Structure 1
């Protein structure tokens, strides 16, 4: 019990530190979002009217007062789940903008992340169990080779072959402009059709890390005394592989999977920019470019909370799968 309470306390402390950094870091960036907005409206070559900048600051509700007063107001707003108005998409709220982009990222990156973990873990375990065979050589060397290819090259090759050459898939976008976004079957089918190519690009590289890490971990556990004892007792091959060896070999992968699952809320910038996909990565890039502090802070906050919750989940799962972790914490 002490182990789980210590993990929960660490989560709360880290969350407070992340919220504080989330408040401070955007305010250290140079530039004025109100001035940038006026500059975009009037043109880059025109002089900026200070009165117009002041009016935009009032319209956007930019924070005033000392840094400590702003911090207190920021914490109060978070307590009421009030994330403010987006400077880029004014007058829409930050919550409205994120709600529009978040489902795209969860479906695309979330599904490929889970599939990549499952495929990579099973292939890595099978390669370790059949180590020094042709299957092991194909899986290990193939993963290493694919891992050396830059992701953007893989994505561009897929676009060239399947979008321009054979024209099986659209090159960019999350859905066709002729269809109105809704929960109707035509729109869902169209969105799924547009997500297949970026999803394939992610799946070609997503399992690589899991394959190599799981193989190395399992090769180590296969040499442990408890695995050899299970084999000497004549237990079934599947039981020895899954219960005695893979159960402990998968623990480091669980942490990586949980952290990656939490980071999904931040989106995958490279994928979304190459394929023009309307997800959180693209939204975060827009927020940084336009110094949209409320939107930037909220995306970073959601990503941080997701990673911390995933890490807490991984720690709890660690304690369940490996009782030695709990004993070490209580010692």
Structure 2
């Protein structure tokens, strides 16, 4: 079965590039995923703009850093968007990049404890419960949303490490796995997520660095190099429509249920990213079965 196909609005693009990219995703793909990187665009603001600019595309947010956010505020913002755009907003939370968290005075001694406390409280708040908790990092006293979302809305979490993937699978509906995984690494991460999920099944959202054209492999490898990831053919999707379809197919075979095309950071003109979206929608998707 072919996976859902999305595109990432990478924060090397300016905020004003979001609406044209969102409209392109609405025309050609299933998903648009926005980020919340310090100190670029706000994830919730970006998601709201994308949702209001489109009609059908699902908008994901991966990920909101828990050290930046009071869980009650996160719940209020998520619930507002999920009620206005039912079934179209998939929020996600994670640790955040630790040096950035230190810059804003939010770095904690145990990111895993914070993520677990935040996710547990967030799920209960979004379910409409009154929550009182006195945790190591999360404290709430009889907090209850007046306008929780309707039942069935999704929540996700994710990141890099095995413990984070296991925690995310245990407490959310879907796991986000960061870009740059080899096929072998992705399979192992998916297996870990499935083993941790209470039902034995979990949706997996995987970002795949993607570049088209004759110099695509070099451009994609250069993107990975920025994060200190060594080149390996199965870590990226690069080349022709057939090459990119094959890479998406490998990710799906490894267990990804949503594959998010992540444009390379050298694409600084939104027109080039829109062109990539149209290319994936028109030429790559028909090759997937």
- Normalising by the smaller structure, the TM-score range is under 0.3
Larger radius of gyration: 1
Q: Which has the higher strand share?
A: 2
Query: Comparing both chains, which one has the higher relative contact order based on Cα–Cα distances under 8 Å and sequence gaps of 6 or more?
Result: 1
Higher relative helix content:
1
Provide the TM-score with structure 1 as the length reference.
0.21
